[in-house]
Amino acid sequence: MGETSTSVRCGKCGQELSEPTSLQPEERCPCPSCGSTSRNIAVSITETVVVRSKLGMKGSHTDSRKPFIEVVSGGDLHRKSGRWMKLERVIDREKDQYKEKVTNPQTGEIVHRCEELLSEHRGHGSARKRT
């Protein structure tokens, strides 16, 4: 959640004043330095934004429908923990390889690692048996 801060200054001389920002002009006391009742009200809002990226690539031969290689790398929401993790996945159909590594970016801990022949990679994702 962000932070908000406000300040009130005299509109003529810039003297910082300790009065509410919601005070109506006819209710203001004159500035102790110059006597003006004009005000500059500054509002500052600070927020943190986290940007995550994920890059996916596919390589295909012109005579084939399926890509011979698929690579995914970047931020991914880990469903079991509900935390953002770093995902690295390579599906290489020409070399019959499947590699996947999920790492916690804050600790460097490897949460999941799988390296096997793609032809033996069954029962995952949409191929998983439902109960």
| pLDDT reported for residue 5 | 92
Asked whether residue 33 falls in the same domain as residue 58, the answer is no
For residue 3, pLDDT over 80 is answered with: yes
Give per-residue pLDDT as tens, 40-69: 999 999 999 989 999 999 999 988 888 999
- The whole-chain average pLDDT of the chain stands at 91
**Which among 103, 126, 124, 128 is positioned nearest to 113, based on CA atoms?**
103
Spell out the residues 6+ positions from residue 131 whose beta carbon is closer than 8 angstroms to its own: none
Asked whether residue 60 falls in the same domain as residue 120, the answer is yes
Asked whether residue 35 falls in the same domain as residue 83, the answer is no
Asked whether residue 42 falls in the same domain as residue 59, the answer is no
Q: Is the pTM of this model over 0.85?
A: no
Give per-residue pLDDT as tens, 93-127: 999 999 999 999 999 999 999 999 998 888 776 66
Query: What is the C-alpha to C-alpha distance for residues 104 and 57, in angstroms, rounded to an integer?
Result: 22
Look up the domain containing 23 and give its range: 3-46
For residues 61-90, average pLDDT: 92
Asked whether residue 42 falls in the same domain as residue 61, the answer is no
| pLDDT reported for residue 70 | 96
Tokens read off for 96: 């019959």
Query: What is the C-alpha to C-alpha distance for residues 90 and 23, in angstroms, rounded to an integer?
Result: 62
